[in-house]
Amino acid sequence: MQGSANLNLMIKAARKAGRSLVKDFREVENLQVSSKGPGDFVTKADREAERIIMEELRGARPSYGWLGEETGEAAGEDPTRRWIVDPLDGTTNFLHGLPHWAVSIALEHKGEVVAGVVFDAAKDELYYAEKGLGAFVNESRLRVSGRRNMIEAIFATGVPFGGKSTLPATLQDLARLMPVCAGVRRFGSAALDLAYVAAGRYDGYWERGIQPWDMAAGLILVKEAGGFVGPVREGRGILESGAVIAGNAQLFEPLCKILRQPA
Ligand code: IPD
Ligand code: CA
């Protein structure tokens, strides 16, 4: 795909941050056995990745706004455009030496995500999409799955941890969904969960208690791969809603029906 200058810039930033994280990830594997553990080291790796991305993106487009997991929000001279960045999605996996984490970068224009990059650096899988131009992983086009029956479908989610208030609702979702599908996965990276829906590996995904930077890039991957996305509570803007549903064309509605039932 012949992407725009902005998409190429996002890819360059994601690859650069990914290289830095891969180096740090090797070190984490050594630190697992030390008494201090790798906690502080990972925090530094995460911040360094965001610094690299910011330097690339804001260096090239100083007028755009910014929303990053580590550095927060900064308005730009151009109020219509904003980068939405999670330098390391899947931090817990990274910390535990599990090779399932990603760099996530999205570009929003007038409130709509128009380009997204999710880079799984450990597996060298670069997912990217631009509005109207389709979604890709490396050189291959992405398509959501064609499964039609819930009972054959696999869904991904994120189960809230550390006392988050969304745990009871998520447990209720699982109780409703698990008996009627082929399985639910919890791999620990929302950005990759959405990329896997776009790739047809999962038939759908939902999560409560999620932030704009976790999902922004993944949402456009799903849409450009022919899938659907929406908020759990209808009528809310998807990025601000904090609870998202994604699915292939046939199973999005049945999944919404199950997850939108009253408590
Ligand atoms: C987390 C991951 C996880 C999801 C959490 C996120 P982080 O992001 O995406 O899969 O369940 O809601 O906070 O903290 O690893 O960047
Ligand atoms: Ca995240």
- What is the reported pLDDT for 38? 81
CATH architecture of 5-141: 2-Layer Sandwich (3.30)
User: Model-level pTM?
Assistant: 0.96
**d(CA 170, ligand 1 centre) in Å:** 15
Read off the amino acid at residue 222: V
Question: From the CA of 213, how far away is ligand 1's center (Å)?
Answer: 10
Q: What are the extents of the domains in the chain? A: 5-141, 150-259
Query: What does the pLDDT profile of the chain (263 residues) look like in tens digits?
Result: 778 999 999 999 999 999 999 999 998 877 776 666 788 888 899 999 999 999 999 999 999 999 999 899 999 999 999 999 999 999 999 999 999 999 999 999 999 999 999 999 999 999 999 999 999 999 999 999 999 999 999 999 999 887 788 999 999 999 999 999 999 999 999 999 999 999 999 999 999 999 999 999 999 999 999 999 999 998 888 999 999 999 999 999 999 999 999 88
5-141 and 150-259 share one CATH topology?
no
Alpha-carbon gap, residue 168 to 131, rounded angstroms: 36
Amino acid at position 179, single letter? P
- Whether the CB-CB separation of 91 and 72 falls below 8 Å is answered with no
Q: Are strands 64-68 and 72-74 parallel, antiparallel or unpaired?
A: antiparallel
Domain 150-259 has CATH 3.40.718.10: no
Q: Whose CA is nearest to atom 12 of ligand 1?
A: 210
Helix runs in 32-158, H state only: 39-60, 91-95
The closest of 185, 223, 192, 35 to 103, measured between CA atoms, is: 192
Do the Cβ atoms of 155 and 185 come closer than 8 Å? yes
Tokens 């409703």 found at: 176
Cβ atoms of 149 and 181 closer than 8 Å: no
State the pairing for strand pair 183-185/154-157. parallel
Phi, then psi, of 75 in degrees rounded to 5: -70, 150
Q: In this predicted structure, what is the pLDDT of residue 161?
A: 82
Angle, helices 5-31 vs 39-60, to 10°: value is 170
Contact at 8 Å (CB) between 84 and 50? no
Ligand closest in space to the Cα of 186: 1
In short, whether 189's Cβ falls inside 6 Å of ligand 1 is yes
Give the CB-side neighbour count of residue 58, counting CA atoms within 13 A. Answer: 17
Taking the CA of residue 187 as reference, the ligand 1 atom at the shortest distance is 10
The residue whose CA has the least distance to atom 11 of ligand 1 is 158
Distance between first and last Cα of the chain: 44
Torsion sign (Cα): 231, 218, 61, 2:
negative
Report strand pairing: 72-74 vs 204-208: unpaired
Please say whether the beta carbons of 219 and 84 come within 8 A: no
